[in-house]
Structure 1
Amino acid sequence: MDEIIGYAVVCIIIAGLFYALVKQVKETRSSEHIVGSPMFRKQMARKNIVMTAALFGILVFFTLNIVSGLYITSTLSNSFTNLATLISFFVYFFAKFAMKPKQGNLRRNLYH
């Protein structure tokens, strides 16, 4: 019974990651039409692309980690997928919180 609950939780986590990836892809595609300077749009697009790639990496490596945990693959790939998932998380959080696009001086741009 505990094994079934464990598999259900893992499936829910993978489904949540897939849903987040779909939302992130939609946000990345809609970031082309945001208001702001061309530099702001470029920085926002770069941030969204990095977040999408990192979220895709989290999903892929977490799924591979679960598959390698079922002893289908070797333990070497298990440690690799652990490390890759962790690095993808760090890249995602770096892009989310540290890559803030700078809006610039809007007042100066309005009058010149």
Structure 2
Amino acid sequence: MDEIIGYAVVFIIIAGLFYALVKQIKETRSSEHIAGSALFRKQMARKNIVMTAALFGILVFYTLNIVSGIAPSIQVSDSFTARATLLSFFVYFYARLIMKPKQVDHIRKLYH
């Protein structure tokens, strides 16, 4: 019974990551049409692309980590997948929190 609950929790986590990835891809595609300067749109697009790639990495490496634990015949190192998942997680939060695009006000630049 505990094993079934464990698999259900893992499935819910993977489904949540997949949902977040699909939502992030939609946000990345819609970021081309936001208001602002060209530099702001470029920085926002870069941030969204990095976040999408990091979420994809989290999903792939986490799934590989789970699959390698279930099926030991798969030749993937658990430590490699765990480190790659953690690295992707840090890259995602770096992009989410640190890579904030700066809105440039062209009118203020003209008068100062």
- Asked if TM exceeds 0.5, the reply is yes
What are the ranges of 5 or more consecutive residues in structure 1 without an aligned counterpart?
none
User: Residues 2-59 of structure 1: CA distance to partner in whole angstroms, max 9, x if unpaired?
Assistant: 0000000000000000000000000000000000000000000000000000000000
Cα separation, 2, equivalents of 1:78 and 1:7: 18
Report the CA distance shift for 1:24/1:110 in structure 2 as closer, same or farther (over 3 A).
farther
Tell me by how many angstroms 1:104 deviates. Answer: 1.5
Q: Which residue in 2 is equivalent to 1:44?
A: 44
Cα separation, 1, equivalents of 2:105 and 2:52: 29
TM (normalized to structure 1)? 0.92
Name whichever of 87-96 and 97-106 sits farther off.
97-106
Q: Which residue in 2 is equivalent to 1:90?
A: 90
Name whichever of 38-47 and 100-109 sits farther off.
100-109
Cα separation, 1, equivalents of 2:84 and 2:105: 39
What are the ranges of 5 or more consecutive residues in structure 2 without an aligned counterpart?
none
User: Residues 40-99 of structure 1: CA distance to partner in whole angstroms, max 9, x if unpaired?
Assistant: 00000000000000000000000000011112334x611100000000000000000000
Cα separation, 2, equivalents of 1:72 and 1:109: 62
Structure 1 runs of 4+ aligned residues shifted over 3 Å read none
TM (normalized to structure 2)? 0.92
The alignment status of 1:101 with 2:106, answered yes or no, reads no
State the identity %: 77
User: How large is the RMSD of aligned CA atoms in angstroms?
Assistant: 1.7
Cα separation, 2, equivalents of 1:78 and 1:68: 7
**Corresponding pairs, count:** 110
Q: Which residue in 2 is equivalent to 1:10?
A: 10
